[in-house]
Structures are given as C-alpha cells and as structure tokens.
Amino acid sequence: MIKAEAKRLGFDLAGVAKAEFMDAEARRLESWLNLGYHGAMGYMENHFDLRTDPTRLAPGAKSVISLACNYFPESGPSDPEAPKIARYAYGKDYHIVLREKLRSLIGFIRTHIGEVDGRGFTDSGPVLERDWAKRSGLGWTGKNTLTLNPKMGSYFFLAELITDLELEPDAPLRDHCGTCRRCIDACPTGAISPNGYVMDGSKCISYLTIELKDAIPETFRGEMRNWVFGCDICQEVCPWNRFSKPHQESAFQPHPNLLSMTRRDWEEITEDVFREVFRHSAVKRAKFSGLKRNLRFLKPPPEDLPETS
C-alpha cells in the first residue's frame, strides 16, 4: 500500500530495508574520510554515528523506506558549444519537490495505518542515501559510485523515510557493472579509482563547480569539458542509461530560456538573468559569483591566449 501511494505521488521506485547499524558502510566511510576524498566538504566528517545508524537519527526506527524520482529531461541545450549544467538542475530544486512528496507520504501512512513516527530526508541530513538505496533493492552501487537501476539507469533523485513502522525488507540487487569501465575511462579529472567503486570527491567536476568555494586548482584547467555546474559525464557514458526515459514531473521542466542559451549568452550572463533563469533551480547554490568563477575557469589563462597583431 505504501509503495503504491509512493508511485502515485510521483516516485518511480520504492524499497524497504531494516533500520540498523551499517557496519561495512561505516568502515568504508571512515576509510574514505581518512584518505581526504571529501576535500573541503568538512561537514562529511560530522555526525558519523548518525550517518551510520538510523536508530540514532530517528529513535525507535525499524525500517528505512528508500525512494527514487526520475529527473531525466526530454531534451538538452540547443547550442552544443554552450556551457553545461548537470541535468538534475534543469528544473525546480529537487529538495523542495521531494520534501513535499515525502510529507504527503507520511500523511498517507498516518491516515491509513495510524500514528507512526517518521523522518523524511532527501540529501538534507546525515544519511548514506546510496547505501540505503542499495540495501532497499532500488539498485546497485556502480563503478561510478552512483546507484544504478536495470530499468532506469541512474538519472534519479533519492529520498528516504526512516520510520518506526516494521516492514518486510526487500532483497538487494546484484552488481551488473561486470567488466565495463566506461565511466572510469571517461572521467577527465581521474576522480574515479582505477578499479571503480571509489570516488575522490576532491577531483570530481561536480565538487569543483559546486562544493568548492575557493579558487579551482589550476591543475584542472582544460579538464572541465565545458561543465559549469555539476557534471554528467560518468552517467552519459554508462550503458545502463540507454534505458533512461523522460520524467513526467512538471516541476523538473527547465526554465523556458535555459536550453536556448548560447555560449555567448552564458559568457554575458548578468545577475538579473541568473536570478530569473535559476530562481527555482539548485544552481542557486553556486550563487552568481560562483557561476561566474566557473565560467572564467573555462577560458584559457591570459598567457595562453593567442597574440593579436
């Protein structure tokens, strides 16, 4: 009943895992942090016990309901030379959209089952979302470290409802990456480990263009592949994304002017245009100053510019 309502609300996948301490995931997270792969994302070091134990995050928790919502767009930018933003940021900020769906789902559960305690999350708290998605049977963790589903690929948002409702867990899916290494070979900054499954976040283009607030290190100049907010390269080359289908969520439709912006439009973007086009988008996280920094970084440094006579 809960899964059926989740799908009615616009979630494409729903699965259940037992709420318990995540031993293997805790050890992997600790190793990742010790390697410094979180870069300047100091918040990843906070609340370690909450990240790895949902019963601490929501006392009395018995189940974690994992949910997925497709965001794959129907079309892309008209100018192939225009700077690019990750597809997830085309429409309205997913935090807002999915939070509303979660509230509706919690309300439904309380109406039809009774007084149930639950906390909803969507990239909004110390929750290991992809690990819970894996445990809940939504997909496996691919070599690019994203959750892959055999019918949907990876272009979907994740959300969780941690609840004291005892539900039967779903079985995890097995890994279907096989010998494929397209994502590893395609990553221009070498952020994915040689054997996959580990991401050096401090080298990821998404990190460099969104999370990093300082200057982008010069070692990455010429490696950004025209991305100014996020990056989809490891998803674009993934064979499983041949199954991606356009989403049906009106809130994820891009601003009418976004996909028609030319390279020149981007280079000459003003703060007023930024506010209009991205007023509801996650791109606001970068702020106008951050977007301009990223746009400047796409250009060669002054000493590399051709001489003029």
Which residues are known to be catalytic? 123
Tokens representing 188?
A: 């221009």
Segments in the chain forming alpha helices (H): 2-8, 23-34, 48-52, 54-57, 94-112, 129-135, 182-186, 205-206, 233-236, 263-267, 271-277, 287-298
DSSP string, 244-296: ------GGGSPPTTTTT--HHHHHT--HHHHHHHTTTSGGGGGHHHHHHHHHH
- Which residues, listed in sequence order, are joined to residue 65 by a DSSP beta bridge? 16, 161
Contact 51, 125 (CB under 8 A): no
C-alpha span between 105 and 22 (Å, rounded): 25
Extract the tokens encoding 252: 């994820």
